[in-house]
Amino acid sequence: MTSTPALRQGEYPSAAPRLVVRTVELQHDVQLMDLLPRDGATVWTRRGEGFIGIGEAVRFDASGPTRFEDAVAWWEDLVAAAAVRDEVSAPGTGLVGFGSFAFASTPGDSSLVVPNVVVGRRSGKSWLTTVAVEPALPLVPRLDTLAEAAAPVERPNDVSFADGALTGTEWVGVVADAVKRINAGELDKVVLARDLLAELDAPLDLRWPLNRLAEQYPACWTYSVRGLFGATPEMLVRLEDGLVTSRVLAGTIRRSDDDAHDLALAASLARSSKDLEEHEYAVRSVAEALDAHCTSINVPESPFVLHLPNVMHLATDIAGVVSDDSSSLQLAAALHPSAAVCGTPTPVALSLIAELEQMDRGRYAGPVGWLDAAGNGEWGIALRCAEVSPSDPSRLRLFAGCGIVADSVPDSELAETQAKLVPIRDALET
């Protein structure tokens, strides 16, 4: 498969590379995760549907405050120049890009990738898209050769975890500082995160945690883009044929091992004024940002409780009809950072995060997802994730954070981060 060197912001020639793209329907059903090669792939999947992407036809790397608009401009040029033969013509067929964006404007490290091969599956239909950079022609792989390339999955042998930027105790102190600043009237809500380091005795075979996450967290979107992988329960924005939806989460309670007790916990979460307040900030930030791009937004009056195997969240599904020609990536840019991962007011929360967390979030809590040439796409928030070190594939950083409001109890917030780290820790260990 051919691949071109990655282009950086400001480096790409004014004439975008001309891609030759071909999508064909597959006559038999596929198991996406069975097609993943050992040496990494792009993944976006939920309940067996979605995509896997192999190789890299072109990639755009961006950073800084203009990372989204630069990626949007690059994508528009790419779409305008591409020669596409699409025999399926549905959202996610033809030219598709996969992206992962840094949470913060600095230092930042964001990418949009077009794989050489994309296999997609949706509503019982499967398709294969191949991409080449002219003058090369797309190599149409046989799926059985892809499956053969998928060598047996290697299970991690030995994993050890260590504190990241701060110890648990130090982080509790930081949360206590944030509560004081909230009570002093500086801001209403801030989302504080911490990182954990993982070291394996050999380079990680990403297929191992990806398979675990997809199996164990079917309500979440399992993703992997350039070494950032996880299973997120939060959909920042989905755009399909003009209809926009968003799943906002904020307000969390840990699950017990007892289903009856969990029901009582879910009821207490739905009544908790602290969690409802935290949730309201997040819903409002998304609804206000979408309002500028939509007509007839529907925001349910009260949240429902989303049950995941490790935690339960207050959740609100917002829907609207887009009134301008924004693509899903432009909407994601408009919504980021929502108060679910940043706080209220946004600029104050952003600077408090930079001051208190003492770490670079990287692409954690940034948008991760895909878009097609028509602008359709899905952008989740990169949560419940780990980032593989680009220089050493046996080292990873894991992340988790919590919304802090006036009534937050620092020790409970630490316990909440531990519960949120369970999916990714288990996926590396079991």
Three-class SS of residue 271?
A: helix
Site string for ligand ISJ, 4-23 (x = CB under 6 A): --------------------
What's the closest the beta carbon of residue 293 comes to ligand ISJ, in angstroms?
Answer: 21
CA distance 329 to 99: 9
Q: Which of 52, 58, 383, 398 binds ligand ISJ (CB under 6 A)?
A: 383
Q: Using CA of residue 70, residue 50, residue 251, residue 213, what is the dihedral sign?
A: negative
Number of residues that bind ligand ISJ (CB under 6 A): 17
Report the relative pairing of strands 83-86 and 19-26 from DSSP bridges: parallel
List the interface residues with ligand ISJ, window 179-238 (CB under 6 A).
191, 193, 234
CA distance 92 to 238: 12
DSSP code of residue 247: E
Q: Using CA of residue 151, residue 153, residue 158, residue 161, what is the dihedral sign?
A: positive
Q: Which of 126, 224, 252, 330 binds ligand ISJ (CB under 6 A)?
A: 252
Of 117 and 270, the one with the shorter C-beta distance to ligand ISJ is 270
Of 59 and 384, the one with the shorter C-beta distance to ligand ISJ is 384
- Helical residues (DSSP H) of 293-369, grouped into ranges: 328-335, 346-356
Residue 181, φ and ψ in degrees, nearest 5:
-65, -35
Q: Which of 54, 342, 371, 402 binds ligand ISJ (CB under 6 A)?
A: 402
- List the catalytic residues: 189, 234
What's the closest the beta carbon of residue 400 comes to ligand ISJ, in angstroms?
Answer: 4
Token readout for 301 is 């009056």
Of 251 and 362, the one with the shorter C-beta distance to ligand ISJ is 251
CA distance 164 to 386: 12
Determine contact, residues 401/341, Cβ cutoff 8 Å: yes
Query: Which residues neighbour 408 within 8 Å (Cβ) at sequence distance 6 or greater?
Result: 175, 178, 179, 274, 402
Q: Which of 420, 424, 425, 428 binds ligand ISJ (CB under 6 A)?
A: 420
- Helical residues (DSSP H) of 41-167, grouped into ranges: 67-81, 143-149
Q: Which of 189, 247, 384, 397 binds ligand ISJ (CB under 6 A)?
A: 384
**Options 180-188, 202-210, 401-409, 422-430: segment touching ligand ISJ (CB under 6 A):** 401-409
Q: Is 50 in the site for ligand ISJ (CB under 6 A)?
A: no
**Options 37-45, 63-71, 107-115, 395-403: segment touching ligand ISJ (CB under 6 A):** 395-403
What's the closest the beta carbon of residue 361 comes to ligand ISJ, in angstroms?
Answer: 10
Q: Is 421 in the site for ligand ISJ (CB under 6 A)?
A: no
CA distance 383 to 230: 7
In angstroms, the Cα distances linking 200 to 32, 197, 205 are 26, 10, 11
What's the closest the beta carbon of residue 313 comes to ligand ISJ, in angstroms?
Answer: 5
Question: Which residues in 362-374 are b (16+ Cβ under 10 Å) and which e?
Answer: bbbbbbbbbbbbb
Three-class SS of residue 322?
A: strand
What's the closest the beta carbon of residue 50 comes to ligand ISJ, in angstroms?
Answer: 21
Q: Is 250 in the site for ligand ISJ (CB under 6 A)?
A: yes
* Helices and strands, counts by H and E, the chain: 9, 24
What's the closest the beta carbon of residue 420 comes to ligand ISJ, in angstroms?
Answer: 4
Q: Is 423 in the site for ligand ISJ (CB under 6 A)?
A: no
DSSP code of residue 187: -
Q: Is 266 in the site for ligand ISJ (CB under 6 A)?
A: no
Site string for ligand ISJ, 321-340 (x = CB under 6 A): -------------------x
CA distance 196 to 251: 22
Q: Which of 91, 251, 337, 362 binds ligand ISJ (CB under 6 A)?
A: 251
- State the helix-helix crossing angle for 328-335 and 273-291, rounded to 10 degrees: 130
Of 78 and 250, the one with the shorter C-beta distance to ligand ISJ is 250
Q: Is 109 in the site for ligand ISJ (CB under 6 A)?
A: no
Q: Which of 249, 308, 349, 428 binds ligand ISJ (CB under 6 A)?
A: 249
Of 32 and 248, the one with the shorter C-beta distance to ligand ISJ is 248
Task: Give me the residues paired with residue 100 across strands.
Answer: 111, 368
Q: Is 341 in the site for ligand ISJ (CB under 6 A)?
A: yes
Residues that bind ligand ISJ (CB under 6 A): 191, 193, 234, 249-252, 313, 340-341, 383-384, 400-403, 420
